[in-house]
């Protein structure tokens, strides 16, 4: 078993780490404070190939593997978790389903601009009454001549306020239950009847917009159906498996930022005549952080390797997302504790890391759902 990185993978990791250090970290606090979409950073990530890492070069991507995705995304999230989730959604929730289920014509038209970083994509699944239970969705699509007419609202959509394109799930056959859900590629800038609804005021990842997508008799060309009618839920669940590797990587990056900050502060803060890092209570907190984060990284890399090798990775992706997000949140809580009063003030980035970490336990499937997925696979003998 070889734990070493290839030359390309190491180069990707180093490039992402340098970009995070030089371009993201210096501006992260201001973007968070102003709720400012990092458009310039996203274009730069596109130029690096990071907005479509696993997409073939012919469709605007970098043509790399999912190991590279984990390495790059965790480093980008270490610099700014808001930029990290934009990158994650672009890669995992938009590029993945279009690349996996789209026709060649759809890929050329709708994948290339997003994978190249010239535009953002988003993923329209969640609704007010359909979060952990996607089969309860109420958005509908009715075929009318040469177009599907969409009606409904999608909620909590990352990138929803800035995205040019979306993969949207809608019910096309109510009588068929969850087998009556289909997916559509929607050109949000050129679809009459579409509008951006409420943009949420959130606890964390404030430089990343989270918005409602509103469809009122929105006409989507017939050719924008992704795959076949009724394939929507299966496509969405497969997409979420890949997306959980992305969010796990985001969480890992946040956790690494917490550890970095806590380690540095503990070596500088003097109490009772010595750095607080000399006290066992602090050392144990740092050791627990490092151990949990390293374990989460190994789970993420395993899930990414399985995806690269076309193996069933639902359980492994759920484990990785669960472990990484719990590790990040636990690290952030202890990181604030190590910094004491300063950890609670915006003068230091630790409070932002804590706010950013929490959402990783919720989106792309709550950690309660992750545990159910793991248990379900165990009970099936997988």
**Mean pLDDT per 10-residue interval, the chain, length 382 residues:** 94 98 98 96 97 97 98 98 98 98 97 97 94 87 97 97 98 93 97 97 98 98 97 95 97 98 98 98 98 98 97 97 98 98 97 98 96 97 88
Best CA proximity match to 40, nearest among 19, 14, 67, 68: 19
Alpha-carbon distance of 207 to 165, in angstroms, equals 19
Alpha-carbon distance of 283 to 277, in angstroms, equals 6
Q: Which domains does the chain have, with CATH numbers?
A: 7-120 (1.10.540.10), 122-230 (2.40.110.10), 233-379 (1.20.140.10)
* Residues 6 or more apart whose Cβ sits within 8 Å of residue 95: 51, 52, 54, 55, 61, 111, 114, 115, 121
Best CA proximity match to 147, nearest among 213, 193, 94, 195: 193
Instruction: Kindly write down the DSSP assignment for every residue of 44-69, as one continuous string.
Output: HHHHHTTTSTTS-GGGTS----HHHH
Alpha-carbon distance of 195 to 128, in angstroms, equals 17
Positions annotated as catalytic residues are: 364
Task: Answer yes or no: pTM beyond 0.95.
Answer: yes
Alpha-carbon distance of 248 to 300, in angstroms, equals 7
| 3-state percent helix, strand, coil for the chain, nearest multiple of 5 | 60, 15, 25
Alpha-carbon distance of 156 to 159, in angstroms, equals 9
Q: Looking at residue 115, what is its pLDDT?
A: 98
DSSP state of 123: E
* Residues 6 or more apart whose Cβ sits within 8 Å of residue 34: 207
Question: Which token pair is 123?
Answer: 């993923």
């Amino acid at each position: 078993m070889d734990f070493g990185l290839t030359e390309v993978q190491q180069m990707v990791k180093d490039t992402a780490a340098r970009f995070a250090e030089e371009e993201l970290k210096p501006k992260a606090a201001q973007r968070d404070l102003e709720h400012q979409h990092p458009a310039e950073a996203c274009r730069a990530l596109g130029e690096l190939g990071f907005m479509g890492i696993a997409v073939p070069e012919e469709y605007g991507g970098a043509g790399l593997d999912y190991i590279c995705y984990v390495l790059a995304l965790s480093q980008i999230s270490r610099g700014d978790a808001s930029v990290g989730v934009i990158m994650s959604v672009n890669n995992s929730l938009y590029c993945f389903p279009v690349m996996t289920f789209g026709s060649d014509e759809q890929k050329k038209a709708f994948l290339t601009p997003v994978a190249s970083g010239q535009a953002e994509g988003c993923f329209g699944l969640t609704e007010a009454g359909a979060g952990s239970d996607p089969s309860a969705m109420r958005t509908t699509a009715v075929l009318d001549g040469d177009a599907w007419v969409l009606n409904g609202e999608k909620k909590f959509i990352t990138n929803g306020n800035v995205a040019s394109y979306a993969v949207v799930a809608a019910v096309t056959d109510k009588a068929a239950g969850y087998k009556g859900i289909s997916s559509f590629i929607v050109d949000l800038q050129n679809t009459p009847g579409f509008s951006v609804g409420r943009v949420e005021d959130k606890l964390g990842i404030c430089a990343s917009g989270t918005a409602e997508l509103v469809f009122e008799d929105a006409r989507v060309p017939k050719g924008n159906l992704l795959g076949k009618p009724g394939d929507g839920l299966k496509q969405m669940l497969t997409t979420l498996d890949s997306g959980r590797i992305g969010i796990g990587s985001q969480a890992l990056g946040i956790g690494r930022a917490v550890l970095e900050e806590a380690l540095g502060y503990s070596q500088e803060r003097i109490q009772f005549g010595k750095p607080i890092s000399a006290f066992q209570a602090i050392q144990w907190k740092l050791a627990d952080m490092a151990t949990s984060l390293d374990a989460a990284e190994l789970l993420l890399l395993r899930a990414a390797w399985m995806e690269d090798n076309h193996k069933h990775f639902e359980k492994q992706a759920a484990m990785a997302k669960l472990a990484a997000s719990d590790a990040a949140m636990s690290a952030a809580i202890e990181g604030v504790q190590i910094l004491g009063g300063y950890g609670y003030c915006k003068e230091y980035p630790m409070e932002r890391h804590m706010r950013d970490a929490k959402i990783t336990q919720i989106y792309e499937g709550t950690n309660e759902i992750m545990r159910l997925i793991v248990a379900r696979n165990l009970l099936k003998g997988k």
